[in-house]
Structure 1
Amino acid sequence: MSHPFPGLEHLIPADAVVEHLATGTAWGEGPVCLDDGAVLWSDIPGNCVLRWHPQEGQSVAVQPAHFHNGHTRDDAGRLYACSHGERAVLRSDDGGRNWRPIATHHGGQRLNSPNDVIVARDGGVWFSDPPYGLIQPLEGYGGGQEQPGCWVYRLDPDTGAVEAKVRDMVWPNGLAFSPDETTLYVTDTSHTHDPAGHHHIRAYPVAGHGASKNEVGEGRIFAVVDPGMPDGIRIDEHGNLWSSSGGGVQIYSPDGVRLGVVAVPEAIGNLTFSHVEPYLYIAASSSLYRLPVSVKGDRF
């Protein structure tokens, strides 16, 4: 019998099927897995964070959520969220019940609308800051853009300083590090509002040691994703990049070769690997799905 996902035999079991878990979102985003097997994910236009648990099913975790978008966690289990409404990056130390802002400004000006967030092994919090929460009425509270651009930032875990690390993208969105954290992948989804805009993933070298640690070099186009946009991305233990798109999950080798596609019935906002069981969780427009996998995610 042929494999259901050609080219992905080493990444996905031969009997794998895309399983539908929950529904009801207007635009699903930002899934993150918890230690008890639950998944939190955002419904941005619905202004809530939903929870799905294998035994308990679907429930509402936070409402109103001030338009949460991307979520992640760190090695200590603390949760992080990007809030379009609060124009901030938030952290929760109690499993998502209470949130507090940890990044709200850069250069004395309010952030645009933080979109996606990842935490490096040194505790640095990296996040993207496009304008979606300012320009889309159902994804934020509006307001004027105070930053001179849409950048990728790093929040220093020791000083709390917010430093712009990537300034050459139009609307940066999804983020992921290579397993050795020497490459930062960033998606650009400016094509959503401009026919001439981008729908690609860029790769940036990141210095790992000495005085230049966390310095980001000149980027390059890693892959152009079509159909749709490369919104959320994640990296597996072998360095392969798993990207959302309009037609499914597109998977790329570390050198940018597309290995294959996992078809999903809806456009995908974001995805994440479980660290508890061998699954990839997929937040699509109206539903949450999961896919059995044969690899582990490198980070949360």
Structure 2
Amino acid sequence: MTQSPITTTGSIEKLDESLDDIIKLGAKIEILARGFTWSEGPLWLPQENKLIFNDIPPNTMYQWSEKSGLQVYLKPAGYTGTTPRGGEIGANGLALDPDGRLVLCQHGDRRMARMDAPLNAPTPKYVTLADSYEGKKLNSPNDAVYKSNGDLYFTDPPYGLEKNMDDPAKELPYQGVYRVAKDGTVHLLTKELSRPNGLAFSPDEKKLYVANSDPDRAIWMVYDVQPDGSITNGKVFFDATDMLKKEPGNPDGLKINKDGILFATGPGGVLIFSPEGKHLGTIKTGQATANCAFNPDQTELYITAHMYLMRVKLK
């Protein structure tokens, strides 16, 4: 893992003139750090003025800032067991809860957890938020987002299991999308997706978007969010299955800006969609691209792509 002089890579593909209102004219894809195994889960910490993200296989979370560069932030991040095991054991998606505490999707421990330490003194001590549904252990929580009322939504594909779908330790017969209510109860929202992955709310929280990282059905779904927190009326928002024949990367992480524009990692890099599902352009990283995150004023997009941490300046 190296903090190297900032270089650029890839290109910005414009498919619609409105992209000029979203990405800074002449913006480059900057490489901020490199040498990771599979970088994931970027999250900006406003109070710390730094980005944190995971390198999943080595079970390590890193921090990056303009001032201090690249450093280890937290280890172990996703698997705290003492018995060695294979697979993608680290943490994946990250979020801040309503109280500003760090919440992790822990692959190895197969749970949603909260770090039991302040952000400025990270310590690998964790409190379990959810690790089972109806008495069966979760697969490996992958990505998460909070609703403004404090409910935690997360996806649970099998990627953190040692043998994926064929792992004998897999207890649930499906891959679910879940909601953890403020009272700690876990609610299954849908089990219809084969590989649910990234998820995000529209700015008004009336829509929930979910990526499905299945190469045979590489889609983003959109659902109506009901007053009780459940989701209904699921329909395909965008189908990228044919794009996978030409570009690397399944639908994975996604973020939505204050104008409802979707930044969704998928075939080719980061695909940018209007709220109506029009593909406006792509940040073409040249890598299978895992996830992305904004800085506080949404003028920068940080991207985790295979072995790299990248950045693109936005308007």
Give the TM-score normalised by structure 2. 0.84
Does residue 288 in structure 1 map to residue 306 in structure 2? no
Q: How well do the aligned residues superpose, as a CA RMSD in angstroms? A: 1.8
SS at match of 1:46: coil
Separation (CA, whole Å) in 2 of partners of 1:131 and 1:124: 23
SS at match of 2:193: coil
Does residue 79 in structure 1 map to residue 98 in structure 2? no
Between structures 1 and 2, the one with greater strand share: 2
The 5 A counterparts of 1:148-297 are 148-157=173-182, 159-191=183-215, 197-208=216-227, 213-225=228-240, 226=243, 227=247, 228-275=249-296, 278-294=299-315
Separation (CA, whole Å) in 2 of partners of 1:42 and 1:201: 23
CA contact (8 A) 2:146 2:152 kept: yes
Does residue 15 in structure 1 map to residue 44 in structure 2? no
1:61 to 73, 79, 86: 73
Equivalent residue number for residue 156 of structure 2: 129
* Segments ≥4 residues shifted beyond 3 Å: none
1:149 Cα deviation (Å)?
Answer: 1.1
Separation (CA, whole Å) in 1 of partners of 2:270 and 2:158: 25
CA contact (8 A) 2:33 2:310 kept: yes
Equivalent residue number for residue 44 of structure 1: 56
CA contact (8 A) 2:145 2:199 kept: yes
Aligned residue type for 1:26:
T
1:63 Cα deviation (Å)?
Answer: 2.0
CA contact (8 A) 2:214 2:250 kept: no
CA contact (8 A) 1:151 1:164 kept: yes
1:276 Cα deviation (Å)?
Answer: 5.3
Separation (CA, whole Å) in 1 of partners of 2:305 and 2:311: 10
Matched residues, number:
278
1:277 Cα deviation (Å)?
Answer: 6.2
Aligned residue type for 2:128:
P
Matched-pair identity in %: 35
Separation (CA, whole Å) in 1 of partners of 2:277 and 2:70: 36
Equivalent residue number for residue 298 of structure 1: none
Aligned residue type for 2:28:
V
1:122 Cα deviation (Å)?
Answer: 0.5
Aligned residue type for 2:151:
G
2:38 to 15, 27, 35: 27
1:164 Cα deviation (Å)?
Answer: 0.3
1:117 Cα deviation (Å)?
Answer: 0.6
Aligned residue type for 1:63:
K
CA contact (8 A) 2:12 2:284 kept: no
Separation (CA, whole Å) in 2 of partners of 1:77 and 1:276: 17
Instruction: Describe the shift of the 1:233–1:286 C-alpha distance in structure 2 as closer, same or farther (beyond 3 A).
Output: same
Aligned residue type for 2:139:
N
Give the TM-score normalised by structure 1. 0.88
Deviations 1:139-181 (A, max 9, x none): xxx6511113110000011x10001011211111111111111
Moved more, 61-70 or 101-110: 61-70
Instruction: Describe the shift of the 1:75–1:292 C-alpha distance in structure 2 as closer, same or farther (beyond 3 A).
Output: farther
SS at match of 2:302: strand
Aligned residue type for 2:27:
A
Aligned residue type for 2:150:
G
* Unpaired stretches in structure 1, ≥5 consecutive residues: 192-196, 295-300
1:187 Cα deviation (Å)?
Answer: 0.7
1:291 Cα deviation (Å)?
Answer: 0.9
SS at match of 1:9: helix
Aligned residue type for 1:183:
K
Aligned residue type for 1:115:
N
